[in-house]
A and B are shown apart, each in its own frame.
Chain A
Amino acid sequence: MKSIRHVPGVPERPAGQALPDGAYAGAGVGQASAAGDGKAGALPGEAAGTLLIAKDLATGWGKKKNKIILSKGISLQISGGRLSALVGPNGSGKSTLLRTLVGLQPRLGGEVLLQGKPVESLSAEERARNVACVFNERLDAGYFTVFDMVAFGRYPYTDTRNSLTGEDLAQVERAIAAVGMTAFSRRAFSGLSDGEKQKTQLARAIAQNAPILVLDEPTAFLDAPSRMEIFDLAGILAHEMGKAVVVCTHEVDLALRSADEMWVMDREHCFLSGTPAFVSFSGAIGRAFASSRARFDPASGTFRMDRRHPRSS
């Protein structure tokens, strides 16, 4: 346990100051690795902030016999201070990839190194101290307040009685403040709006004090301002708090505007990574979301109705 490197709670970095441009260099065209490339082990040199490395990863379902491989040959790395967005059409295997990456689902090939160690060698608690996930799942919070829900983030650190120390309480308060929910902290979680619930979940992930944050469709069911807020928070977590943030999302336009790196999966479960500009202008996003009615416009980063195929009715 001691050998696990820890990114301390909130690294001191002046607010609003993003990482220098040079830090993005690794995400260039050179790093893009198409799926099916069996020898994708050749990654660029490990950057100092690299927290997680996946090599030639295969994801899917099932065990040794009759296993269904969704995607294979995926190689990527996750570093502190960067926001990576995973986009792709429904059923392309985004959630499966995320769950496999953080060791919550067995992988069907390749390897994943978390803090330099095989992810499966970590105990559940060690994993939770290194990766905080927010899944899109209906939560039965009962009578738990916002504070209670955020305090769950301290689980990997507390004893079996779950007694919170003064430091634990302070971390919970800070996490609630970081998402701007301090005024709500005594409210019942189940009475919140979906946007407020999602922010509370983000605060819980912050309180978990893990260097890697994985958010699975955090903007589903949210209205437009709340969606922007969540992406804004994700950006702050990455660029100001120095976390490695991975967001799986359907908000392609928001992702292109706020992410440092894009991961694109298409309907054939092929994986490609690169800067927002690269995946837009190389046509990767257009191909992944190919549709007869909508067309991706790289210049604006949005989808447009395709008038070349008017409605037949």
Chain B
Amino acid sequence: MKDSNEGGRWRTWGPLLLAAMFLLFMLDLAYGSVKIPFGEVLRALFGRSENQGWNTIVQVFRLPKAITAILAGSALAASGLILQSIFRNPLAGPDSLGIGSGASIGVALLMLATGTSGTSLFGSLSVPGYAALVLAASLGSGVILAIILLLSRKFEHGVTLLIIGILVGYFAGSIVSLIVYFGSPQKVQQYLGWTYGSFSGVRMNELPVFAIAIACGLLLTLRSSKALNAFAVGENFALTLGIQVKRERTRLLAAAAILAGSVTAFCGPVAFLGIAAPQAARRLFRSSDHHVLLPATMLIGVLISLVADIISQMPQGGSILPINPLLALIGAPFILGMFIRGNGAAPRDAGGSP
């Protein structure tokens, strides 16, 4: 697993991707309804700009949003990588565990229960309203997580779990659509607003909570990246190498669910990233070693979410585009292009005897 080739790929792509990340981060701070000159952004970031308004805009509104985009991008990407490797399925993602659906039930129930009226999007929710939203989404995905983890100890095969995850997703989806069916148009509008996803709901003082939740998920993942390598090759293969399959799998599923669940709670169901980023990382770094793939996937996840966030600011009319449709709109053709160009080159597709 100590392959000089992979090290070489890191040396070329690593600095490039890091530089791109920094550039996109600055662009993200510069773009918005009020356009701030690129040179001034850095100064405004530290409150040194002549223009007090710019200081406030960058520090209070755009910085937390950009950090949220970075956290969400890396967490969803890592979560997707874990699930794709455990289930050995390139289509697995945070959604295949039903985590997003669980959060949806929580949010839909909250909308139904509270009489909160008003506009739909995150930004306009009151602070206690937003806290309740995060709580409801966390509870919803937490309940689904508990069910999946209990079942993962009971069932031997990953495929069975994948099917269960998808079934739970359908089940939760139908509950949500029933709630929406009987909800008042106003509440439905509010719920729909949540499903569009947004990075701008997290405020500076809430960021630490978000960051700690994600750090917990990542630490759990790092502890098991050795097992993850073997899982990605085969279940029996991992078993014969002395890996405690059920224990490691439960730990990794918990990590994936914490990562995806906390993002869903704070930003809404923005799951597409989780499927796209690992695919891109595998192809770019030509590696299957998770010690390489995990940081690479997270970095690419961050890039995708920053690009999406910048584009969502593009219209200068003061409104921002919803992040969830944007991600798939840009991401899907991008990944598709990669598949078409890399056709045959990827050993995963080669298989069989020559």
Contact = CB atoms under 8 A, between A and B. Distances in A.
Whether A associates with B in a native complex is yes
A47 interface: no
Interface residues of A, number: 45
Contacts of B232: 140, 142
A155 B223 contact: no
Interface string B284-298: 001111010000000
B350 interface: yes
Contacts of A145: 3
A148 B347 contact: no
Contacts of B223: 160
B242 A140 contact: no
A141 B282 CA distance: 12
A142 B242 contact: no
A40 interface: no
A148 B235 CA distance: 17
Given A142-B282, A143-B287, A143-B347, A162 B233 contact: no
Contacts of B286: 143
B237 to A, nearest CB: 6
Interface in A129-156: 129, 131-135, 137-145, 147-149, 151-153, 155-156
A25 interface: no
A94 B352 CA distance: 26
A141 B347 CA distance: 8
A157 B352 CA distance: 31
A164 interface: yes
B1 A162 contact: yes
Contacts of B282: 142-143
Interface in B1-59: 1-3
Interface stretch (A187-195, A253-261, A264-272, A288-296): A187-195
Contacts of B234: 135, 137-140
Contacts of B242: 123-129, 155-156
B354 A155 contact: no
Contact of A164 (B1, B237, B351, B354): B1
A129 B243 CA distance: 11
B233 A140 contact: yes
A161 interface: yes
Contact of B226 (A138, A139, A161, A194): A161
B229 interface: yes
Nearest to A214: B240
Contacts, number: 103
Contact of A128 (B88, B226, B233, B241): B241
Contacts of B1: 148, 151, 162, 164
B88 A152 contact: no
Contact of B354 (A129, A143, A193): A193
A248 to B, nearest CB: 14
B351 A133 contact: no
Contacts of B354: 191, 193
A162 B289 CA distance: 11
B241 A155 contact: yes
A151 to B, nearest CB: 6
Contacts of B240: 104, 128, 131-135
B237 A143 contact: no
A75 interface: no
B81 to A, nearest CB: 12
B126 interface: no
B243 to A, nearest CB: 6
A134 B350 CA distance: 22
Nearest to A144: B288
A28 B51 CA distance: 96
Nearest to B88: A140
Contact of B236 (A127, A137, A163, A194): A137
B244 interface: yes
Contacts of A77: none
B107 interface: no
Contact of B353 (A127, A132, A134, A193): A193
A208 interface: yes
Contacts of B351: 190
Interface of A: 104, 123-129, 131-135, 137-145, 147-149, 151-153, 155-156, 158, 160-164, 169, 188-194, 208
Given A133-B240, A140-B88, A192-B353, 5 more contacts: A139-B237, A140-B233, A163-B2, A188-B350, A193-B353
3 smallest beta-carbon distances between A and B, as pairs = A128-B242, A142-B288, A133-B240
12 contacts: A124-B242, A133-B240, A140-B234, A148-B3, A149-B233, A155-B242, A161-B291, A162-B226, A188-B347, A189-B347, A190-B348, A193-B354
